[in-house]
Structure 1
């Protein structure tokens, strides 16, 4: 890697951690940076999962009190999340890079639209229903397949699905989403590492940068409006979508 590439990846990792701490959407930045660095799309996608993982862990720990009270009610969702993530990540590995590259612009377009619509998709109901209803199980299974396969926009998608199917306060839903996201990401990482598609040198550059960015995100949250960061991420998503449509 050149110095320029290292700086690009480090910056992407840093800002990925920061925007995840504030608004979410860090996958767009890491996937985009690795694309510019010449990493094949399957490897860039797999490596992004590893780079984002520490953020899922810290988010889960931040909601530990909420999770510790409710985890038993979400065991079925946890099981289907693992199964769905296995299916999605194995599906990714079954493709070659040219095939996946043709799908990427459509995935990016959908993920960007979901992320942009995030404020309207965020559930506002406080009426809590069973987390193990057929609707919530099916919805979470489909979301986890997507999360294992691609992952960008997964958090917003999961929050919306859980809000519609289970209800509850925002913090309850966010805690549940974080717990399930860490399972989906962990399973996908095991599959991707076993499949040998992770770009480790690039991951080693971005992981500590992402950790620093996550810490800095708390400072930025007090000074930069969340709307500004959200639309910056949307702009990156649009640019990546156009890039893949034009070059595909």
Structure 2
């Protein structure tokens, strides 16, 4: 592998972990970097799950002060997330690369639009309350989000923040902590399916994983200091670029 490709993949892993910890959307970056490096879309998508996993873990640990107050109440949402992720990952493995490639630009556009609309999709949270398991509607919304996360994943973070904001209580950082915890579950289940299906590019993953882990922890620090609008604008630009890139390739 050329040195420049390795540097690109490492930096993409770092940026992905950082933006996932702040607001989600890191899959745009890892998926795009591996696509530009020449990987088939299904392999790039599956490998993105592996590269982002350490970032999910480190950002979750960085939020442990919040998580330790509600993790028992979130076990049902974790189980629902696991079932949804399993379904989404199996659907992905049922497709071939040309079929998935045809879906990719539309998925990217939808995910980018969702990400851009994120601030208007979530009502004002309720400070001072624990984030607990919500209603049946909340459970179904989390299942649908997990199916999407297992299948593709780009924009999953903002989708989850939106649905959690509608169905759970807690301030932004508490909801973000819950989002990171559930993202760990979704990614873990999807990775098991992708590994069993033999669709992981391990060399690229090994290069990106350290960057993702460092970025995930750094992202929690930057979440309180870097304007979210700046991060969101960057992720939206990446999503639009990738969507039009795949339309052109199609």
Q: Give the structure-1-normalised TM-score.
A: 0.91
RMSD over aligned Cα atoms: 2.2
Q: How does 1:1-248 map to 2 (within 5 A)?
A: 1-126=1-126, 131-214=133-216, 216-217=218-219, 225-248=227-250
| Structure 1 residues 195 and 178: CA distance shift in structure 2, 3 A | same
Unaligned runs of 5+ in 1: none
- Contact kept? 2:20, 2:216, Cα under 8 Å: yes
- Contact kept? 1:88, 1:146, Cα under 8 Å: yes
Residue 45 (structure 1) shift: 0.5
| Structure 1 residues 33 and 142: CA distance shift in structure 2, 3 A | same
Instruction: Report the Cα distance in structure 2 between the residues aligned to 1:86 and 1:61, rounded to whole angstroms.
Output: 24
Q: Give the structure-2-normalised TM-score.
A: 0.90
| Structure 1 residues 18 and 162: CA distance shift in structure 2, 3 A | closer
Residue 224 (structure 1) shift: 5.1
- Contact kept? 2:21, 2:56, Cα under 8 Å: no
Residue 194 (structure 1) shift: 1.0
Residue 218 (structure 1) shift: 6.3
| Structure 1 residues 36 and 163: CA distance shift in structure 2, 3 A | same
Residue 231 (structure 1) shift: 0.8
Residue 176 (structure 1) shift: 1.8
Q: Which moved more, 1:127-136 or 1:38-47?
A: 127-136
Alignment partner of 2:133: what SS? coil
Instruction: Report the Cα distance in structure 1 between the residues aligned to 2:22 and 2:195, rounded to whole angstroms.
Output: 29
- Contact kept? 2:122, 2:162, Cα under 8 Å: yes
Instruction: Report the Cα distance in structure 2 between the residues aligned to 1:229 and 1:21, rounded to whole angstroms.
Output: 11
| Structure 1 residues 178 and 21: CA distance shift in structure 2, 3 A | closer
- Contact kept? 2:21, 2:180, Cα under 8 Å: no
Unaligned runs of 5+ in 2: none
Q: Which moved more, 1:45-54 or 1:60-69?
A: 60-69
Residue 158 (structure 1) shift: 0.8
Residue 227 (structure 1) shift: 1.9
Residue 207 (structure 1) shift: 1.0
| Structure 1 residues 164 and 87: CA distance shift in structure 2, 3 A | same
- Contact kept? 1:74, 1:132, Cα under 8 Å: no
